[in-house]
Amino acid sequence: MEKLRGTVTELRRGKTVSHNPKTGTSVVHAAVFRLDGQLVKIVSSAPLVIAEGQELLVVGRRRAKLFTAYAHRNLTTGAEGHESWATRLLVTILVVAAALWLGGWMGGAYAVVFGATFVALGAAMAWRSLEVMQAIVMLKR
């Protein structure tokens, strides 16, 4: 986990809106920009309060040439935000529990393969949630 601080340039924004009659509408906000030359990506369920020329502090991971920010603070306006972690963690718990129940109900070799697959996917999602929580803590320091 790493912190970056700098001035926002080359800001590009986007959002995806999806509607499900059962769960309602969900919106995902995204921004890609340079922070003192480093390419940064932020994804959030809340609107991003970022503008060209503002100073930002981000915490996340660098993969190749892209820095993925899990948590951020706009030092110009004081606004903070982070990638959603609570919903992902809750869905992980529910999916893994359902998969284990269904695998037990199916029995045999299918249960082992089914259960192992969903436990592995759940572990990956839980790990990402823990990384986001760690980034939020680092941002506060």
CATH number at residue 61: 2.40.50
d(CA 26, CA 19): 6
How many domains does one find in the chain?
A: 2
Give the per-residue pLDDT at 102: 74
Higher-pLDDT residue of 120 and 29 is: 29
Q: Which pLDDT score is estimated for 85? A: 66
Chosen domain end from 42, 57, 82: 82
**What pLDDT is stored for residue 19 in this prediction?**
80
Q: How far apart are CA 30 and CA 61, in angstroms?
A: 16
pLDDT of residue 69: 93
Q: What is the pLDDT of residue 54?
A: 96
Task: Tell me, yes or no, whether 52 and 93 share the same domain.
Answer: no
- pTM summary value: 0.74
Give the CA distances from residue 28 to residues 18, 23, 31, 68, 106, in Å, rounded to whole numbers and listed in that order: 9, 15, 10, 15, 36
- Is residue 29 classed exposed, middle or buried when 0-12, 13-18 and 19+ CB atoms within 10 A define those classes? middle
Q: Are residues 104 and 117 in the same domain?
A: yes
Q: What is residue 123's predicted lDDT score, i.e. its pLDDT?
A: 78
Looking at the structure, tell me whether residues 67 and 15 fall in a common domain.
Answer: yes
DSSP H or E stretch at residue 36: none
Condensed to tens digits (0 to 9), the pLDDT of residues 104-118 reads 777 777 677 777 777
pLDDT of residue 73: 94
pLDDT tens digits, 50-92: 999 999 999 999 998 999 999 999 999 999 988 776 666 777 7
Question: What digits encode the pLDDT tens for the residues 18-43?
Answer: 887 777 777 889 999 999 899 999 99
Beta strand pairing status for 66-74 and 38-44?
Answer: parallel
Domain edge (last residue) among 66, 82, 98: 82
Give the domain range for residue 75: 2-82
Residue 76: what pLDDT? 95
In this structure, the answer to whether residues 10 and 58 fall within a common structural domain is yes
CA distance 105 to 58: 45
| Torsion from C-alpha of 33, 35, 41, 42, nearest 10 degrees | -100
Q: What's the distance, CA 103 to chain centroid?
A: 29
